[in-house]
């Protein structure tokens, strides 16, 4: 029972990775469950083939003091001083959909990278690995369910 698409966000990201001859926009759509709580904090980020942090795509939720509850992202990205630059927005209400667009280098696709989402809701449990989906052309357009808060997640390559 998802409400109309309310939160549409475009994140124009400078490429943090070198030697990217070409890049393409990736659109990520995340629809939340009606879990019966306040707005969710979400961290959408990329990890590489070794599981190391690559880049933050979006952080939903404005209060930095709650970022420790996005524990996987918070730990992995702690060395990235620019992790929040231009990629933050409001927390996402239950039943609503977050859309994020990012420019990703072609080299990242089908190269072992993963899109991960950590989720947390005030007074409810944290969900550090709510979504882990390999960034592969084959996965594009396929819906995935999260563990706790995300009803459906999918990304589109253009």
**For binding to other proteins (CB under 8 A), which residues are involved?**
36-38, 51, 62-65, 68, 71, 74-75, 78-79, 123-129, 132, 147-148
In terms of C-beta density within 10 A (0-12 exposed, 13-18 middle, 19 or more buried), how is residue 154 classed?
middle
In angstroms, what is the minimal distance from the CB of 34 to other proteins?
12
The residue among 3 and 75 lying less far from other proteins, judged by its C-beta, is 75
The residue among 62 and 86 lying less far from other proteins, judged by its C-beta, is 62
The residue among 8 and 68 lying less far from other proteins, judged by its C-beta, is 68
The residue among 27 and 148 lying less far from other proteins, judged by its C-beta, is 148
In angstroms, what is the minimal distance from the CB of 72 to other proteins?
8
In angstroms, what is the minimal distance from the CB of 51 to other proteins?
7
């Amino acid at each position: 029972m998802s409400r109309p698409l309310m939160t549409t966000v475009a994140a124009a990201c400078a490429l943090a990775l070198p030697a990217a001859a070409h890049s393409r926009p990736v659109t990520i759509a995340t629809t939340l469950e009606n879990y019966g709580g306040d707005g969710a904090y979400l961290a959408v980020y990329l990890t590489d083939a070794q599981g190391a942090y690559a880049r933050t795509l979006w952080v939903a939720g404005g209060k930095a003091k709650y970022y420790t509850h996005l524990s996987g992202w918070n730990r992995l990205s702690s060395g990235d001083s620019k992790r929040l630059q231009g990629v933050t927005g409001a927390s996402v209400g239950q039943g609503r959909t977050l859309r994020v667009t990012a420019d990703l280098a072609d080299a990242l696709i089908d190269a072992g990278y993963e899109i991960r989402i950590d989720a947390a809701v005030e007074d409810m449990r944290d969900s550090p690995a709510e979504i882990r989906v390999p960034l592969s052309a084959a996965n594009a357009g396929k819906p995935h369910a999260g563990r706790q808060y995300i009803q459906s997640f999918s990304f589109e390559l253009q």
